[in-house]
Amino acid sequence: MYPMKYKRILLKLSGEALMGNRQYGIDPERLSEYAKDIKEITELGVQVAIVIGGGNIFRGVAGAMNGMDRVQGDHMGMLATVINGLALQNALEDAGIKTRLQTAIKINEVAEPFIRRKAMSHLNKGRVVIFGGGTGNPYFTTDSAAVLRAIEIEADVILKGTRVDGIYTADPEKDTNAVKFDNISFKDVLSKGLKVMDTTAFTLSQENNLPIIVFDMNKKGNLLKVVTGENIGTKVK
Of residues 4 and 61, the one with the C-beta less far from ligand UDP: 61
Of residues 52 and 232, the one with the C-beta less far from ligand UDP: 52
C-alpha distances in Å from residue 197, one per residue of 62, 146, 161: 18, 10, 12
199 marked as part of a ligand binding site:
no
50 Cβ neighbours under 8 A, 6+ residues apart: 10, 11, 12, 13, 38, 88, 128, 129, 130, 131
Of residues 125 and 163, the one with the C-beta less far from ligand UDP: 163
Rounded to whole angstroms, the Cα distance separating 169 from 167 reads: 7
24 marked as part of a ligand binding site:
no
C-alpha distances in Å from residue 99, one per residue of 13, 92, 123, 150, 206: 16, 7, 9, 17, 29
233 marked as part of a ligand binding site:
no
136 marked as part of a ligand binding site:
yes
- DSSP 3-state assignment of 201? helix
Of residues 4 and 64, the one with the C-beta less far from ligand UDP: 64
- DSSP 3-state assignment of 53? coil
CB of 77 to ligand UDP, least distance (A): 2
CB of 145 to ligand UDP, least distance (A): 5
Of residues 62 and 185, the one with the C-beta less far from ligand UDP: 62
- DSSP 3-state assignment of 16? helix
32 marked as part of a ligand binding site:
no
Task: Note the residues at the interface with ligand UDP (CB under 6 A).
Answer: 14-16, 53-55, 59-61, 73-74, 77-78, 80-81, 134-135, 137-138, 140-145
CB of 226 to ligand UDP, least distance (A): 19
CB of 4 to ligand UDP, least distance (A): 26
- DSSP 3-state assignment of 35? helix
C-alpha distances in Å from residue 67, one per residue of 61, 62, 73, 119, 223: 10, 9, 10, 38, 40
Q: Which residues line the annotated binding site?
A: 12-15, 54-55, 59, 74, 135-142, 162, 168, 171
Q: Which residues line the annotated binding site for UMP?
A: 54, 74, 135-142
